[in-house]
Amino acid sequence: MTDLADRLASVDAAIADAAREAGRDAAELTRIVVTKFHPASLVRELAELGVRDVGENRHQEAVVKAGELADLDLRWHFVGQLQRNKARAVRAYASSVHSLDRAELADALDRAGEGAAPLDVFLELNLTDDPGRGGVAPAEVERLAAHVLTLPSLALRGVMAVAPLETEPRVAFARVRAASDRVRSIAPHASEISAGMSGDFREAILAGATHLRIGTAITGKRSTAG
Ligand SMILES: *Cc1c(COP(=O)(O)O)cnc(C)c1O
């Protein structure tokens, strides 16, 4: 096995273990491999290993890779901060946006989608006290959810969060779970939770995450060879 195949297999085994511990079915979890900073060739290798869901956090990089790999049957998840003026371009390749954090961006994504299949969106929560970070304050999430529900070309799937470094993952994910419950009170179908990265996916699975965004534990460190 290559190192990449090895790491993918061990992460998947750890996901299966955590799901078992949580009394959940691993088949209900979507494991997204976050491939930022890595070349398209690595994404192609991942696809050969059966990976279908990939994540990117920078539009410029994602659009190039998605173009190079258009022959593959991949689902691109956009997970990074997004400017309104990129909405149309992102919709051209992304099957979901995990970082929807404001009404203006929701409106831009909706306008860019006339006639297209609905775009899956997750509302990103800001779990820090720093308003400069991406994400909506948890107290504002229902208001944003209510707005997204009025937009015909967006499909609200749930909430997304990055656990802050300074917070214990278990505590952070409990807040995510609480925000998810509030969103579900107005949008019962929006029950998905995008949470869990290389360092904390086990805790995220225990807290109910449905979409895991895992980078370095699978891809290895950023490749310098391009
Ligand atoms: C990079 C990134 C990840 C993956 O992080 P790792 O720690 O490498 O697993 C997940 N989510 C977002 C939003 C990211 O930018």
Pair 114, 129: CB distance under 8 Å:
no
Is the pLDDT reported for residue 113 higher than 70?
yes
Q: What is the CATH number of the domain that holds 215?
A: 3.20.20.10
Residue 143 structure tokens: 């208001």
CB 111: neighbour CB atoms within 10 A?
14
Q: Is there a domain that residue 156 lies in?
A: yes
pLDDT tens digits, 151-181: 999 999 999 999 999 999 999 999 999 999 9
CA of 56 to the centre of ligand 1 (A): 9
Q: Tell me the pLDDT of the chain averaged across its residues.
A: 96
Q: Is there a domain that residue 149 lies in?
A: yes
CA of 30 to the centre of ligand 1 (A): 15
Domain count, the chain: 1
Structural domain boundaries, residue 7: 2-219
pTM, entire model: 0.96
Q: Is there a domain that residue 112 lies in?
A: yes
Which residues approach ligand 1 with their CB closer than 6 A?
34, 36, 57, 79-80, 162, 197-199, 213-217
Pocket test for ligand 1, best of 213, 214, 219 (most atoms within 8 A of CB): 213
Q: Is there a domain that residue 97 lies in?
A: yes
| Residue that the structure tokens 């099957």 belong to | 95
CA of 196 to the centre of ligand 1 (A): 9
- Residue 226 is predicted with a pLDDT of 43
- Residue 69 is predicted with a pLDDT of 98
Pocket test for ligand 1, best of 7, 31, 79, 100 (most atoms within 8 A of CB): 79
pLDDT tens digits, 15-51: 999 999 999 999 999 999 999 999 999 999 999 999 9
Q: Is there a domain that residue 174 lies in?
A: yes
Q: What is the pLDDT confidence band of residue 224, given thresholds at 50, 70 and 90?
A: low
Pair 99, 124: CB distance under 8 Å:
yes
Q: What is the pLDDT confidence band of residue 1, given thresholds at 50, 70 and 90?
A: confident
When pLDDT is averaged across residues 89-113 and rounded to a whole number, the result is 97
Residue 59 structure tokens: 């539009």
Q: Is there a domain that residue 226 lies in?
A: no
Q: Is there a domain that residue 31 lies in?
A: yes
When pLDDT is averaged across residues 71-76 and rounded to a whole number, the result is 98
Q: Is there a domain that residue 224 lies in?
A: no
220 Cα distance to chain centroid: 19
